[in-house]
Structure 1
Amino acid sequence: MSFVQQKGDGTVTLTLFGWDVSVPTVLKLVGLLLLLVVPYIMGSYTYLLTTALIYVVFALGLDFVWGYGGIMSFGQAAFFGLGAYIAGKAFTEGWIPGFDIGVILLAMIVPGLFGLVLAGALFYQRMDPLNFAVLTLVLAAIGEQAATSLTGITGGSNGIVGIPNLVLGVGGMGVELGQLQYYYFALFLAVGGYLLAWRMLRSRFGTALVSIRENETKARALGYNVELYKSLAFGIGCAFAGLAGGVYATHVGFISPTVLGFVLSTQVVIWVLIGGKGTLTGAFIGPILIQLLEQELSEALLFSWQLVLALVLVVMVIALPGGLVSIYSRFKRRMRARTATNASDIEDADGVKS
């Protein structure tokens, strides 16, 4: 038996320890292995990659909403920032002393419920998708302005400073996370978020959600409660955003109104686009790649790096409209076409289809 095999549909598999494993699965395992060891190989990038992994959770939420639910949102930073401010206030004012994970859960649940109620109120009014996307953008702008104006609550433009490191445990039995521990905690959340989203998408809920994205009218005719499914999907995406925001606040130790605004909302859309919308894997790749690009370009080009980065991203979107994960899809299509051509050549030569 060959180590590398090609199936009739162009899929390439590798035989590992007696198991046939697809190339994408192998690449994911290799990527996970690299992420597990990278702090020991590139220690100076640990903080940057921790931030990137937190952004992965954020991007997974948007990809769930947009890539699979077909719900475009230009204001996901509003929910990210809400989670960040909840965590910032809770930790600096001691809302739940000795139970830091409870604070993180609160930072996840409140934005999730807020998103669910907001989406439900709008979707049940049959709001146009474009109007919904614009409204989320307005929500992010309002959130940023409110955080700047409500100085007594948010600290205004100065933000909230001195947010302590996360402590895992209960009461006095917790362990404060250092830089390395934060990295692996963020990696755990990113991988866990990926697996949770993957499982939901392969459930009846996920099947219904994709059906609604593909043809909402047909799904409604088949008896699906379209508004309920879309509202739940949006609430789940907002919960992911809030979770990411809460962990981000404790990681950087400081938050300002920008975590609620347009810039971050735009960035997460770009991360998903570059990685590959509607793939989950793309939501994992995008933030990490772009954070690394920003780091390298900002060091090499002190004043023009943002322009160069923008040009690179534009070229990537034009060259790969399906994102980086579409590279394998293109390769698979070419292999399928080559297989079909070879089969046709055999038929022509022998008079019998192979």
Structure 2
Amino acid sequence: VVYPLFAGGYQLTVIRDALIFGLFAASLDFFWGRTGILCFGHAAFFGIGGYIMALVTLNDAIPFGSLLGIMGAVAGAAFVAAIIGYFLFFGGIRGSYFTIVTLAMGVICQQAAVSWSSVTGGDSGLIGIPPIEFDLGGLHVDLSQDLPSYIFVSAIVAMTVLALWLISRGRWGTVLTAIQDNEIRAAALGHNAPLRLLVTFVLSAAIAGLAGALYVCMAGLVAPDLSGLLLSTEVIVWVAVGGRGTLLGPVLGAIFIQRAQQTISSFNPSLWPLLLGCVFVIIVFVLPDGILSIYARLKDLFKGGRRAQ
């Protein structure tokens, strides 16, 4: 977090965008890591948040565009997740069937963004999205510069991940773990499993929408690819590489992958997909709990060495 403050503007931009993707990865991990149910169309919520933010901020007639855009992005993604999640969870859809349905959801959202060109700009998307700017208690916040935008994004990511961690460590997370282990037994103990899964899914989608809103304001554009299958696949890789169920791990995984992609692509862009596949395979077989598990392994090794002495 501190290193980019002493780096150039380009480094700030790279790490800032990686942090936004890290927030997106943490949103998926909050649901997937705690429930064991994989959402393969999570980028749909990222794209929904991005498009809502773009449409609101590009309309000069709407006052407080940045704040309303962020709130609209969060609410819009949550609303779509609530509708889809209600039918899936209360309909008893779980496992691979849930994954397939959410995959279709992502494809539909991407195609809708392409087809509804009068609103979304079609394949070209929407450009010229202004940076976040608002007044807060007499303080004027302008994120058009690299350093303020980096600090703002870092604060948002830190607070959001901390909030998710506290929820996961509390009673809510304990009940979700019980549902993941045995949903029938959890229901017998009086827990409304479908409702808890739905609320968790909606919160996960809302944070993905927030990440999408932040990203399009920093990038200045939004396109159908932001809700497509490729980004949905990438975020799964980030979570797996970082460590599913850890929340912090996916953030680190996203930063690691994004930083590696920037470095390797500058030398040989065509080499990156191959290396990414190799990294994913190595992580799955050597570090199935992600790179964050390295710390736990070293800690156990150190404790074991001290006991031997």
2:290 maps to which residue? 323
Where does residue 88 of structure 2 map in the other structure?
A: 122
Preserved contact between residue 25 and residue 239 of structure 2 (Cα < 8 Å): yes
CA contact (8 A) 1:77 1:264 kept: yes
Report the structure number with the largest CA radius of gyration: 1
- Which sections of structure 2, spanning at least 5 residues, go unmatched? none
The size of the alignment, in residue pairs, is: 308
Please give the alpha-carbon distance, in whole angstroms, between the structure 2 residues aligned to 1:296 and 1:95.
42
Q: 1:155 aligns with which of 121, 128, 151?
A: 121
Alignment correspondent of 1:11: none
The answer to whether the Cα contact below 8 Å between 2:57 and 2:65 also exists between their aligned partners in 1 is no
Distance in 1 (CA, whole Å) between partners of 2:85 and 2:61 is: 29
Which of 165, 171, 179 is the aligned partner of 1:198?
165
Is the aligned partner of 1:266 residue 2:249? no
Name the SS of the counterpart of 1:223 in structure 2.
coil
Q: Check the 8 A contact 1:96/1:103 in 2, yes or no.
A: no
Partner of residue 64 from structure 1, selected from 7, 30, 33:
30
Provide the C-alpha distance between the structure 1 equivalents of 2:259 and 2:100, rounded to a whole number of angstroms.
30
The 3-state SS of whatever aligns with 1:169 is strand
Secondary structure of residue in 2 paired with 1:48: helix
Alpha-carbon displacement from aligned partner over 1:16-43 (angstroms, at most 9, x marks no partner): xxxxxxxxxxxxxxxxxxx134231354
1:281 matched to which residue of 2?
248
Q: Which amino acid aligns with 1:293?
A: A
1:248 aligns with 215
CA RMSD of aligned residues (A): 2.0
Distance 1:121-1:39 versus aligned 2 partners, 3 A rule: same
SS for the counterpart of 1:292 is helix
Mapped to 1, the partners of 2:152 and 2:61 lie a distance apart of 22
Do the aligned partners of 1:73 and 1:137 also contact (CA within 8 Å) in 2?
yes
Q: Which moved more, 1:36-45 or 1:315-324?
A: 36-45
CA displacement, residues 166-207 of structure 1 (integer Å, 9 cap, x when unaligned): 103269974321111111111011101111101111222222
What are the residue-to-residue correspondences of 1:173-252 with 2, within 5 Å?
A: 174-177=140-143, 178-252=145-219
1:85 is displaced (CA, Å) by 0.3
Question: Counterpart of 1:93 in 2: which secondary structure?
Answer: coil
Which of residues 124, 141, 166 is equivalent to 2:132? 166
Q: CA deviation at 1:217?
A: 2.1
Give the Cα separation in 1 of the matches to 2:61 and 2:89. Answer: 34
Q: CA deviation at 1:94?
A: 3.2
d(CA) in 2 for partners of 1:255 and 1:99?
Answer: 16
The percent of aligned pairs where both chains have the same amino acid is 36
* Distance change (3 Å), C-alpha of 1:106 and 1:297: same
Q: Structure 1 residues 198 and 171 mapped into 2: Cα distance closer, same or farther (>3 Å)? A: closer
1:337 CA displacement: 5.2
Matched letter for residue 154 of structure 1: T
> Relative contact order: is structure 1 or structure 2 higher (C-alpha 8 Å, sep ≥ 6)?
2
CA distance in 1, matches of 2:50, 2:223: 9
Aligned-partner Cα distance in 2 for 1:121–1:270:
27
Residue matched to 1:139: 105
Aligned equivalent of 1:20: none
User: Are the counterparts in 2 of residues 99 and 169 from structure 1 also a CA contact under 8 Å?
Assistant: no
- Runs of 5+ consecutive residues of structure 1 not aligned to the other structure: 1-34, 344-354
The offset of 1:70, in angstroms, is 1.8
- With the length of structure 1 as denominator, give the TM-score of the two structures: 0.82
- Can you list the C-alpha shifts for 1:40-82, whole angstroms capped at 9, x where unaligned? 1354311111111111111111000000122210000000000
Aligned to 2:270, the other structure's residue is in SS state: coil
